[in-house]
Structure 1
């Protein structure tokens, strides 16, 4: 795929200044509230005319050489005249970009940009310069990319940007997820979903393909990894968060749905344990897990002063992981599992999405085998959040937790509420709640009481056995 458009250093500087003020206001920008310094801009056109472009934007968030540096993927469309259909997506107007006046638009909102991305996937071709480039790949046996598709950006997503690609009658609609923070290495969302789909698992969307590429890392070295992932879009489905909160709001029982969700979760874990590498839960490996959990306790307590009073109890709870004798092997997992990561389809039941893992964890760490119970703990926390959307949920949350665990146990054959598994689950649920405390304190202080109350509840001594 030849792309003759030549970019210039002067144009890069102009676009960098434009993005310096625009990017921090976007939902996907992770370093809000601090001074942003653009240190590098690398651009590559995606189409023959150079309208669709991809920018690798390296920023230093904060003052000082030790401030964190991040490379963001910023899709833009560069047009020679204003487009009345893209007024809401305008980034800014520049007098000279590559030799001509230009109107810069937020790429995902421009159908031309998305079609250029899909063309790369369908043709399995690439484009780029010496330092930055892109390559498209079609999934083997995957879904075809529709021609001339209509596109729409989904609202609500924060860390990435997803674009729904409508299709004609008889074609499968797709969704293209553009990864916003660029990290060297394979993205788990691509690797894990592809492995599940290749194994015939119907609990994930079918893949169409992906785009990978290369760019310059913050330290100046060459980096390569995934840029976007294109999969089946389940039209007419509802995410489990909306289904669950509607039920609790209406005072409706949700236990049967929770039980089936437990079964679906266990089915996915079983396939992952078969298709991707596992690791024995040796004493050394469990000690490493415990050390990581202790680091989370220290991180959370340093970030949120309200946690200081429970720090000692939290350390004791998570340190118990190193003494578990009957832990199952570690395996690939979802890593950031909650109700918002699951869809309900009338035809397919529960379908799991977004296997990237926690956005705050390094990519290499998110790609390692982990305890499957981390996903179980994440969903238990999500039921707590759903129950907290009404003033008096009664026993809705505990009932859903019990049903979910019953469904999970029915498939895996081992109850995570017993023996060493109970120790692991308790530590992992506390770990997730601590993560939530920090997130809410930084982003949604009005929600802080939900995970903070959970931390206190999870650290209470177990009730004595009435028998």
Structure 2
């Protein structure tokens, strides 16, 4: 009965990774009672011969208040209401209490960061913007991210942030606790709780406000003269990014990739390009530009330093506090295998991700704009100005971009744009002009 209710419900959740495919089977791998009326479930979902596992907090009530009707999963034969209990602030305080006291329940381990004090009286609220996880904000003190899709192993976000905090590194949100269990014999992260940056502003929102301000001004007003000019913040963000890379290199092992392995890297870019061209015909006219960038990487003869990196870096992953920039979400690209997300890579991968994000911010507002063609030069101006400011901040902050690095950075950026073309074609076809603009000639950084 429960598995049937869950199968019907889980396919409608925004964090479910198997949308568009039928669920062949759903089974409950783990069912732990945390307290009366609250259970922690790990469910296995089989689709087309592959299995994914997800976690949820299952609430049980004889009567369901109106505030929880949106979280309803179903009812049992005895008229008990089953619902997604992350939305029930009367129950979620138990997670805080469990982490505060290092509680353990049938293999479910809740832990707090040594020296951290957790106030378990805070009331929770679910953030609604996430696609792959669910985050609970407790008052103005904590934010606890539940990793809905479970992959055996320690989540990179927990691993990296704990190591950076141990070094008193700046530009991160303070960690408070986590929840873990064992899956397939590996300690697996279920949730991670950090400081909630209540007075901070999202980097993407700040960038869009700057772009919107520029578009509203007469065309003779340059981006540098606009009241909402973002370049100073982009420069500070570049410096913060360099410092985070420095701290990651100090906290974890580093290595170098020799020239023959750099060529293999270019071959990987080229394979992804081939698959993308087969799916998205619009890419064909840009093959010459992309292949030219990849060929420059193949010509490199120097070693490339690699280290732990953020892995999914863009303006939506940074927050501007009253004092500085803070970097969030170190888990890497959620859709990639855990081993790949934990692998050493060039820090230029993060730099390229942020450069692409500036392009997205500049053109995002043009997608449904009646004056899109007229405003395109303004978008290019804003993007070029903020990309250059970010790079200035990155090098001023200690980041090194040599001539050879510039070639690799360009290849990383175009490879990211190829990925974006495929994503937009599948999900938002009207947005294809944003990544396609990456292949046009532009000002040199």
Post-superposition Cα deviations, 1:337-357, rounded to whole Å, max 9, x if no partner, equal 0000000110x3100000111
1:269, distance to aligned residue in structure 2 (A): 0.4
CA contact (8 A) 1:76 1:113 kept: no
CA contact (8 A) 2:259 2:302 kept: no
CA contact (8 A) 1:161 1:178 kept: yes
Distance 1:284 1:76, change over 3 A: farther
CA contact (8 A) 2:384 2:443 kept: no
1:333, distance to aligned residue in structure 2 (A): 0.6
1:372 equivalent in alignment to 2:347: yes
SS of the aligned residue for 1:40 comes to strand
1:290, distance to aligned residue in structure 2 (A): 2.8
Post-superposition Cα deviations, 1:129-185, rounded to whole Å, max 9, x if no partner, equal xxxx4211111233x221221110111111111110116xxxxx0000000111111
1:92 equivalent in alignment to 2:74: yes
Post-superposition Cα deviations, 1:163-211, rounded to whole Å, max 9, x if no partner, equal 10116xxxxx000000011111111111111111111112010000111
Distance 1:319 1:365, change over 3 A: farther
Q: Which 10-residue stretch deviates more, 232-241 or 320-329?
A: 320-329
2:93 to 115, 137, 155: 115
Q: Which 10-residue stretch deviates more, 404-413 or 107-116?
A: 107-116
CA contact (8 A) 2:171 2:325 kept: yes
CA contact (8 A) 1:240 1:340 kept: yes
1:15 equivalent in alignment to 2:2: yes
Q: Distance in 2 between matches of 1:287 and 1:134?
A: 45
The equivalent of 1:34 in structure 2 is 21
SS of the aligned residue for 2:150 comes to coil
1:331, distance to aligned residue in structure 2 (A): 0.6
The equivalent of 2:245 in structure 1 is 269
- The answer for unaligned runs of 5 or more in structure 1 is 1-13, 168-172, 216-220
Distance 1:267 1:48, change over 3 A: same
Post-superposition Cα deviations, 1:380-433, rounded to whole Å, max 9, x if no partner, equal 00000110024323411100000000000112253x3x4110111011001111
Q: Distance in 1 between matches of 2:45 and 2:289?
A: 39
Distance 1:463 1:162, change over 3 A: closer
SS of the aligned residue for 2:119 comes to coil
Distance 1:110 1:295, change over 3 A: farther
- The answer for unaligned runs of 5 or more in structure 2 is 215-227, 367-371
1:238 equivalent in alignment to 2:201: yes
1:463, distance to aligned residue in structure 2 (A): 8.3
CA-atom RMSD in angstroms: 2.1
The equivalent of 1:137 in structure 2 is 111
SS of the aligned residue for 2:257 comes to coil
CA contact (8 A) 2:28 2:42 kept: yes
The equivalent of 2:275 in structure 1 is 299
Q: Distance in 1 between matches of 2:289 and 2:188?
A: 40
Distance 1:385 1:371, change over 3 A: same
SS of the aligned residue for 2:387 comes to helix
Q: Distance in 2 between matches of 1:21 and 1:145?
A: 36
1:412 to 388, 398, 402: 398
CA contact (8 A) 2:242 2:399 kept: no
Q: TM-score, normalised by structure 2?
A: 0.89
Q: Distance in 1 between matches of 2:164 and 2:205?
A: 25
1:55 equivalent in alignment to 2:23: no
